Amino acid sequence: MTEPLEGLAFAGLERITPRRTRIGLVAGGLGAYWPQFPELLPQLRASARRVSARLSEMDCEVVDVGFVSDAQEGAAAAEKLRMADCDLIVGFLTTYLTASMLVPIAQRSGAPVLLLNLQPTEAMDHATFDTGAWLAYCGACPLPEMANAFRRVGVEFRSVSGYLEDERAWTRIGRWIKAAGVRAALRTGRHGLMGHLYPGMMDVSTDPTLVSAQLGGHVEILEIDDLRVRVEQVTDAETAERMALAREIFTLDESVVEEDFAWGARVSVALDRLVADFELDSLAYYHRGLNGETHERVGAGLILGASLLTARGIPAVGEYELRTSLAMLLMDRLGAGGSFTELQALNFLDNVVEMGHDGPAHLAISARKPLLRGLGVYHGKRGWGVSVEFDVKHGPVTALGLGQLKDGTFRLVASEGEVVPGPLLRIGNTTSRVDFGCDPGEWTDAWSGTGIAHHWALGTGHRVAELRAVADLLGLELHVVTV
């Protein structure tokens, strides 16, 4: 499930359509009740249909294997869901049922499990209810049994309790659906790593095998020549078309040199082809080059194309920052955008942390029409060309980084703040003024003290509640920085 991002509805900049999150649904109750209480099963089936309908409204594919009444039917449902390759298994506890009916489903599917205890209404009518009517409200009864059995067989699970039209419960369910979509994006993703590590940046160095081991997916190792040969194949007409698109999306500053603009557009077209040819879901890159030769110019011409890709839902970042490209992918799939970010300066007069980067930006979360500025020099990098300048939409934001501990374990590091208006640098950087509700120096010390690398994603909205669900399904620690 992915929230749509607003803006940037330009022909030629269509957002990608990620694979839909696949949710396996099974509902169940104890078959011994049906002959005793003839009206119970039809009521429970109606509740199950309502749950299926609500899930289908969440922009996900629902594989509904129906209602099970005993262990044999549970085993048959388990086989169907195993073959469906679901991203999340939802078990709806409509009334009491034994653990033997759901444990095989959880064991065989290989997907995370969410148990739902949603009774028909807020409360029973105690004065009129008989045993059969009560049993329709008894989904809470088997929940501890499921929890005990799942723990003992080594299956992780999570649960949501409420009632059928309880919007609080459906908000929590929605977080799990979105988290399952993020897990699927990482589990099935193809992540490009092109060029080489920025010399000396020990914090951003990442073992690609650890990505596959801990998050799933595949890291495709690319060379700068994979892009160079595609740049050479771009026609003048294609370059002009890309320049026209950029003029629609960006305000062009007077510092933009036409030749550099054209070069960035040509590299952008080639970058699209590279991503398509290798079927990439994200890309991290860096190449130093030397003395204005072609490789240096290709490396310096990536920012325009990388920003356009990022806006379409394919995060592309510089400085070989594989982990940050993954954090940006995560934020994008939550509907938060996610722009390439680092610390720039602290403003103790306005009580804000200024953060951004001289490079790829998520244009869909810009506060205004983004600016394309010409740069005679990229600080700390070789080459020259055009860069993107913008401010993230004002309002709630979340900083998210994918950290790495001494033993190689990844963890998520997040902090919620608010982007506020004020003066910004005009040097071709993405810059935002973020108020974390505390002294900016104390926040910076606390954030740095987590061991986070010096790059991360900045996305819109307060996302910690959703990130808790994501971390749970990924099996990662989530460290939330608050001061």
Burial of 373 (0-12, 13-18, 19+ CB in 10 A): buried
Tell me how crowded residue 66 is: count the other CB atoms within 10 A of its CB: 15
Tell me how crowded residue 157 is: count the other CB atoms within 10 A of its CB: 18
- Over 253-296, what HEC string results? CCCCCHHHHHHHHHHHHHHHHHHHHCCCCEEEEECCCCCCCHHH
Task: Sketch the domain layout of the chain as residue ranges.
Answer: 21-186, 189-480
Are the C-beta atoms of 482 and 475 separated by less than 8 Å? no
- Distance separating alpha carbons of residues 81 and 278, to the nearest angstrom: 30
Instruction: Give the fold, CATH level 3, of 21-186.
Output: Rossmann fold (3.40.50)
Cross-sheet strand order for the sheet of 385-389: 251-252, 371-375, 385-389
Full pLDDT tens readout for the chain, 483 residues? 444 455 566 777 888 888 899 999 999 999 999 999 999 999 999 999 999 999 999 989 999 999 999 999 999 999 999 999 999 999 999 999 999 999 999 999 989 999 999 999 999 999 999 999 999 999 999 999 999 999 999 999 999 999 999 999 999 999 999 999 999 999 999 999 999 999 999 999 999 999 999 999 999 999 999 999 999 999 999 999 999 999 999 999 999 999 999 999 999 999 999 999 999 999 999 998 888 899 999 998 999 999 999 999 999 999 999 999 999 999 999 999 999 999 999 999 999 999 988 778 899 999 889 999 988 766 665 657 788 888 999 999 999 999 999 999 999 999 999 999 998 888 777 889 999 999 999 999 999 999 999 999 999 999 999 999 999 999 999 999 998
Structure-token match 């720039």, residue found? 344
Structure-token match 């669900």, residue found? 469
Are the C-beta atoms of 324 and 316 separated by less than 8 Å? no
Are the C-beta atoms of 31 and 70 separated by less than 8 Å? yes
- Distance separating alpha carbons of residues 170 and 173, to the nearest angstrom: 5
Are the C-beta atoms of 387 and 428 separated by less than 8 Å? yes
What architecture does CATH give domain 189-480?
Answer: Alpha-Beta Barrel (3.20)
- Cα separations in angstroms, 284 against 148, 264, 271, 301, 399: 43, 17, 12, 14, 19
